[in-house]
């Protein structure tokens, strides 16, 4: 199933609760929450208190992307704050397997994210330990970037690897996804679509509905 995960990094923080209600009522299934520590990536973003507060106003799936060094230090706290899916960067963990096991032990889904420069093959040995693979389609850390064209081949490679290993793993994409190129990543094999500016610039309701329409259309037509 194709899933839309609006990224609140592009939302209006002064009315975040209202923004979330708009995308939820329009039909978005997940809410993508980027957590940045200023070390793994230069930027800083949302922390535990924001997630805990948002959990009180919505039942949406919280798709939490940890762009932090040694995320195992915070996994329990994010699980407690309301995260449903906790995705960590392969490049940020000294012990990837232990980190993923810890996420699962807390009853949460676990994901691995890869920077554009990290080979897709690097996740092969973890496919039986993850529920989601996040293929970054821009450099992590900043919103509003343009989609990197080389990402399409990486998504195809990821889908091929997952199918070869008969793994039950979603492929999520994050960065520069718009209504103009979302069909490209869907056809390549992605099924969880993170969109920030494409959702929170302009009419949020119309943007979500238009994106979902494309997701459903590609789902009916089949994917590569």
Read out DSSP for 33-56?
Answer: EEEEBSSSSS-B---HHHHHHHHT
Pair 99, 88: CB distance under 8 Å: yes
**111 assigned ligand-binding residue:** no
Pair 92, 71: CB distance under 8 Å: yes
Q: Report the C-alpha dihedral over residues 178, 39, 51, 31, rounded to 10 degrees.
A: 20
Write down the catalytic residue from 59, 77, 174, 180: 174
Q: CB under 8 Å to 120, separation ≥6 — which residues?
A: 114, 135, 154, 157, 158, 161
d(CA 53, CA 217): 35
Clarify whether 63 is annotated catalytic. Answer: no
**189 assigned ligand-binding residue:** no
d(CA 224, CA 218): 10
Q: CB under 8 Å to 220, separation ≥6 — which residues?
A: none
**166 assigned ligand-binding residue:** no
Read off the tokens for 221: 């037509």
- Reported as type and span, the H/E element at residue 212 is helix 204-221
**27 assigned ligand-binding residue:** no
**34 assigned ligand-binding residue:** yes
Write down the catalytic residue from 34, 63, 131, 170: 34
d(CA 83, CA 132): 14
Clarify whether 34 is annotated catalytic. Answer: yes
**144 assigned ligand-binding residue:** yes
Pair 214, 183: CB distance under 8 Å: yes
Binding site: which residues?
A: 7, 32, 34, 65, 141-144, 174-176, 196-197
Catalytic residues: 34, 174
Binding site for a divalent metal cation: which residues?
A: 32, 34, 65, 174
Binding site for substrate: which residues?
A: 7, 65, 141-144, 174-176, 196-197
């Amino acid at each position: 199933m194709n899933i839309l995960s609006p990224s609140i990094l592009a939302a209006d923080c002064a009315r975040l609760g209202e923004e979330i209600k708009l995308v939820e009522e329009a039909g978005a299934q997940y809410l993508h929450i980027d957590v940045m520590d200023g070390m793994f990536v230069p930027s800083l973003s949302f922390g535990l208190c924001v997630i805990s507060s948002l959990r009180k106003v919505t039942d949406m799936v919280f798709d939490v992307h940890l762009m932090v060094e040694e995320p195992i230090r915070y996994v329990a706290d994010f699980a407690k704050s309301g995260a449903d899916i906790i995705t960590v960067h392969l490049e940020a963990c000294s012990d990837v397997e232990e980190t993923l096991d810890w996420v699962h032990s807390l009853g949460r889904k676990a994901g691995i994210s890869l920077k554009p420069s990290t080979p897709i093959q690097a996740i092969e040995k973890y496919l039986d330990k993850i529920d989601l693979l996040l293929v970054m389609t821009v450099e992590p850390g900043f919103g509003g970037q343009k989609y990197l064209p080389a990402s399409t081949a990486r998504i195809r490679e990821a889908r091929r690897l997952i199918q070869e290993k008969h793994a039950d793993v979603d492929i999520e994409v994050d960065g520069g996804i718009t209504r103009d190129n979302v069909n490209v990543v869907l056809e390549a094999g992605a099924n969880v679509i993170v969109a920030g500016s494409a959702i929170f610039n302009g009419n949020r309701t119309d943007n979500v509905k238009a994106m979902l329409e494309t997701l459903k259309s590609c789902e009916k037509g089949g994917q590569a």
